[in-house]
Structure 1
Amino acid sequence: MSAKSSLAEKTIVVTRPLTQAQNILELLELRQATAIHFPVISISVSKNVDIAKQYFKKLTEYQVIIFISANSVHYAMSTAQELGIGFNNSMLAAVGPATKTALEKYGCTVAIVPETGFTSEDLLNDPALHDIAQQKILIIRGDGGREHLRQSLEERGALVDYAEMYRRQLPSERNSINLTQLPKHDTAILLYSAESAQNLWSLCTLEEQQWLSNIAFIVGSKRIAEATTRVGFANNSIIAENPSDEAMLTALSTWAQMLPHS
């Protein structure tokens, strides 16, 4: 019989949409945890996709095309297939390894990816994005989001366009489970963005909001931890090295080892 996992009999609430959550849900089950899928963001096609299509029709004008997330890859590739075009002749950049992997699954070669980290700041450290005056760059992303990447590229003299492929929304329905019925001391919540923290707060009843103030949050960055506290949850965050499944599981193990043994 295999050794008992540190996450055995722990309850882990995963807040990502199912397409992104499937892998960690399976990994949690393998570790004998009770995994609860409680998505706080729904993903759908952007209302700006027609503008994005116009940019796609002139991809050869861009020296660099930056993909912000795996979602940006999936929606962009679907649109490109519809238009009968491809990205194989472009210099592609990915904001992190998950985005890079998504591109490679579509047969694309990624030229620029951070050596470490998953953020716009990490991507901007790549030498290929330093001397870019007068270069045209297309950022493929979801609606809204941070402006830091575009602003920094423009400060370096680049000409930047956005192709917004998808939008993130508050789900129209939530998981019907009453979070207050979960084990109080053996439950942790996984959060992957500042928006997720806000949405979780919005989806919860007042009773659940109060209950969550005593629950541990495993978050993918310091910025998400700050947002979690700012929204109204107590400062109970454990910050993972990054938002990858591996790093979040490592942070979960750290949390589990800190719990009092019964």
Structure 2
Amino acid sequence: MKTLLLVRPENRLAQDVALCQQNGIAALPFPLLKLAHQHEVLRQLPQYFQAACAAFWVSPSAVEIAAQYADLSSTALPHIAVGKATAHALAQAGAQNIHVSSHGNDSTAALALPIWQTLPANHTIIIIRGDTGREELAHHLQQMHFQIQYAPIYRRIAQSPDWQAFQAAQIHAAWITSTQLADLLFTQANVSLTQNLKSLIYFTHHRRIVERLREYHATQIYQVEHLQNALHQLKHINKT
């Protein structure tokens, strides 16, 4: 049985492990990030929503954390999702007015949605995210004459890798979902482990992560839409 390294935030791993098991792939959870709730910001979410004309959600984790503190079904506010997984999380949380691109899973695709043309200029878009993040989305929205407010509802805390478990598992491939996770994986490895990491097959959902992995000299990288697609491909390819 092939083994997939799941380089994911701690809170995302249980669902991924279950999906691997359903597909006959062994999984090694490798949580390099923990998401700590920012309780003060989370308690203020209803006020954030009242002051905004739309909410932009950067990840399923952001939705799942926010849903523990705010009833997303109680507002008619447009909820704009960065991708399909985030839109699914919004639907699971009871949100009704959900907008998501069918052509991509990033902010570039989301910015092409027609919903932006219906929102009033100079009103506030709330971006629900972690304590840090890329600023390109906000810059584009400001150019479209929106005001931007961040709701930093969680803080990322780096975790130390369990390299002993990694070496014992005979990993075939890895599923990795952010450039920050790629950085944490490679920068915390010694020379011999780095050589091992370079030899793995990598699956990711975004070209930006593909490019970051190439910077670390990984050579076998597949861009797929979802973990399910990665598992399907892994069954049919051999490690070289």
TM, length-normalised to structure 2: 0.88
Q: Report the CA distance between 1:170 and its aligned residue.
A: 1.2
Query: Out of 249, 252, 255, which is 2:231 matched to?
Result: 249
- Give the aligned partner of residue 20 of structure 2: 28
The residue that corresponds to 1:234 in the other structure is: 218
The CA distance in 2 between the partners of 1:86 and 1:24, in whole Å, is 26
* Unaligned stretches of 5+ residues in structure 2: none
SS at match of 2:127: strand
- 2: CA distance, partners of 1:87 / 1:144: 28
Aligned ranges 1:3-14 → 2 under 5 Å: 9-14=1-6
Residues 70 and 193 of structure 1: CA distance in aligned 2, closer, same or farther (over 3 Å): same
| CA RMSD, 1 decimal | 2.4
Alignment correspondent of 2:162: 175
How many angstroms does 1:148 deviate by? 1.4
C-alpha distance 86-50 of structure 1, shift in aligned 2 (>3 A): farther
Task: Tell me, yes or no, if structure 1 residue 95 matches structure 2 residue 77.
Answer: no
Q: Could you tell me how far apart the structure 2 residues matched to 1:259 and 1:223 are?
A: 23
After superposition, the Cα gap between the structure-2 partners of 1:155 and 1:251, relative to the gap in structure 1 and judged at 3 Å, is farther
The structure-2 alpha-carbon separation of the partners of 1:70 and 1:31, relative to structure 1 and needing over 3 Å to count, comes to closer
| Aligned sequence identity (%) | 23
Cα distance in structure 2, aligned partners of 1:58 and 1:214: 46
1:139-170 deviation line (CA, Å, top 9, x unaligned)? 11112111111111110000110001012221
Q: Is the 8 A contact 2:57 2:127 kept in 1?
A: yes
Q: Does 1:153 align with 2:141?
A: yes
Matches within 5 A, 1:1-262: 9-46=1-38, 50-51=40-41, 53-54=43-44, 56-80=46-70, 87-130=74-117, 132=119, 133-171=121-159, 173-183=160-170, 187-230=172-215, 232-240=216-224, 242=225, 244-253=226-235, 256-259=236-239
Give the residue type in structure 1 aligned to 2:141.
L
Is the contact between residue 198 and residue 217 of structure 2 (CA under 8 Å) also seen in structure 1?
yes
**Hey, what's the Cα distance between the residues in 2 that align with 1:12 and 1:86?**
36
The CA distance in 1 between the partners of 2:74 and 2:155, in whole Å, is 22
TM-score by length of 1: 0.81
Q: Which has the larger radius of gyration?
A: 1
List, as ranges, runs of 4+ consecutive aligned residues in structure 1 with deviation greater than 4 Å.
51-55
Q: In the alignment, is the contact (CA less than 8 A) between 2:6 and 2:28 conserved in 1? A: yes
Per-residue Cα deviation, 1:175-210 (whole angstroms, up to 9, x for no partner): 253534444xx7111111111100111332332112
CA contact (8 A) 2:4 2:172 kept: yes
CA deviations on 1:199-253 (whole Å, 9 max, x unpaired) are 11133233211221222111222110111122x243321221x2x2223223424
Aligned length: 239
- Check the 8 A contact 1:217/1:238 in 2, yes or no: yes
Checking the alignment, whether the CA contact within 8 Å between 1:218 and 1:248 is kept in structure 2 is yes
| SS of alignment partner, residue 109 of structure 1 | coil
Question: Is the Cα contact below 8 Å between 2:3 and 2:27 reproduced in 1?
Answer: yes
Given that 2:201 and 2:239 are in contact with CA atoms closer than 8 Å, whether structure 1 keeps it comes out as: no
Contact kept in structure 2, 1:214 and 1:234, CA below 8 Å: yes
Contact 1:67 1:94 in 2 (8 A): yes
Contact 1:66 1:95 in 2 (8 A): yes
